[in-house]
Amino acid sequence: MSFISLGLSDFFQRSLDTLGYETPTAVQSQAIPAVLEGRDVLAAAETGLGKTAAFVLPLLEKLLNHPGLRSNQVAALVLVPTRELAVQVEQAIQAFSAYYPRRIKSLAVYGGVSINTQMQAMRGGCDLMVATPGRLLDLIEKNAINLNQVQHLVLDEADRLLDLGFADELQQIINLLPAQRQNLLFSATFPQEVDALINQLLFHPVCIEIERQNKLPDSLTQRPIEVDKAQRTTLLRHLLTEYPGAQFLVFVASKRTAENVADKLYKYDFNVETLHGDKSQTERSSTLAAFKTGKIRVLIATDLAARGLDIPLLPYVVNYDLPRAPADYIHRIGRTARAGEAGTAFSFIDPDSDAHFKLIVKRNQLDVTLEQIQGFEPSPTPTQASPQNTQGKAPVKGKRKSKKDKLREAAAREQ
């Protein structure tokens, strides 16, 4: 099966060949014809299977003969949860439309950068807009964007949009859209919380779900390692030394941890940077670009980088801290072993996180074995103290002398 056989125009083949796309993935082969037919689509597929192409390519096809737009109008709208994903999707639009017969105007709008620049970019309208909800509403409030001509709505990473608290913003945006439009929901997972959104938006959708056993590629090796919490940074240094020159994406739970670990690695001359919400958009964009091109060896990130980011040929991912949500474990380690390449995901398991890791394994139906690395074995679990070492502790039940015993001992001493 080829992309052209799915109903796309011949000119797409040139850009797809340039980008190295050979045959459609499962989600692409099912979604592209459905989108071209004008159907609503609900697609759940694992990370790394090409969901972006599954909606961008058919939308570009449908926009081919779209009439001109007025200054602040939008033809197709893609909503995403993060700035990084907005930039990545817009870059994909430009790459796929390299040989488009006419000039396609796409725009990524997100917070953290000048709103005036985005307002100016909306002059002449926009064929395909990728936006985070908050900044989109800001632009609507300033009359820079009007949604009354939107014909296609895409929610990319729909579950994450709700996880990050965008429910109210989503509803405001939906209320501003025309009643007659095509709706596409794409994500790696669709938990129960998304049901209300699905029921509200989709009309007799084509439902696409990639089987769970394909959740992780065979080329991905999982290595959960038991280690004391205080030894995690030392173990990370050991892995960086064991695989010299290889790139690592390290996930941590907080911005503070990211900076602390980076500071410790700096002292050992590792080429390391951090990615988290306290960074400006300019810093975040330049850091990601440098990491993708290999100029940065170690990137320490919060879950800001866990989903939707395509980092080619990334060999190693490390869960320095485990994610809170079991589903996010899959999204994190899915940054490696993409497009058939081999990859390894290390996870540091300390005694405090052992129970949570067991939950992650159960929820994601994983087949993994905990391992230990020589020199980093966790400390043995403290054994119960023996009775002779209980000074200052509460008496052990059954060992305290009774009143009669004390009286007998006193009588014996007097004799």
**4-211 and 216-363: same fold?**
yes
What percentage of residues in the chain have a pLDDT greater than 90? 60
| pLDDT given for residue 410 in this prediction | 60
- Mean pLDDT of all residues in 197-226: 84
Kindly indicate the confidence band of residue 331, based on its pLDDT and cuts at 50, 70 and 90.
confident
Of 328, 293, 294, 323, the closest CA to residue 308 belongs to: 328
Question: Residue 331 corresponds to which tokens in the numbers above?
Answer: 């999204």
174 in Cβ contact with 201 (< 8 Å): yes
Secondary element (H or E) of residue 51: helix 51-62
| pLDDT given for residue 237 in this prediction | 97
Secondary element (H or E) of residue 358: helix 354-363
Most confidently modeled of 159-168, 262-271, 277-286, 325-334? 262-271
- Mean pLDDT of all residues in 324-349: 88
Average pLDDT taken over every residue of the chain:
87
CB atoms within 10 A of CB 117: 9
Amino acid letter, residue 43: A
What is the Cα gyration radius of the chain? Answer: 27
pLDDT at 57 over 80: yes
pTM, whole model, 2 decimals?
A: 0.66
CATH code of 4-211, in short, is 3.40.50.300
**Under CATH, domain 216-363 is a member of which superfamily?**
P-loop containing nucleotide triphosphate hydrolases (3.40.50.300)
Residue 276 backbone phi and psi in degrees, to 5 = -160, 180
| pLDDT given for residue 386 in this prediction | 43
Q: How many residues are present in the chain?
A: 415
- Mean pLDDT of all residues in 364-390: 76
Q: Which residues contact 167 (CB under 8 A, 6 or more apart)?
A: 161
Of 122, 65, 127, the closest CA to residue 90 belongs to: 127
Provide the residue ranges of all domains of the chain, joining segments of one domain with +. 4-211, 216-363
47 in Cβ contact with 334 (< 8 Å): yes
Helix (H, G, I), strand (E, B) or coil at 78: strand
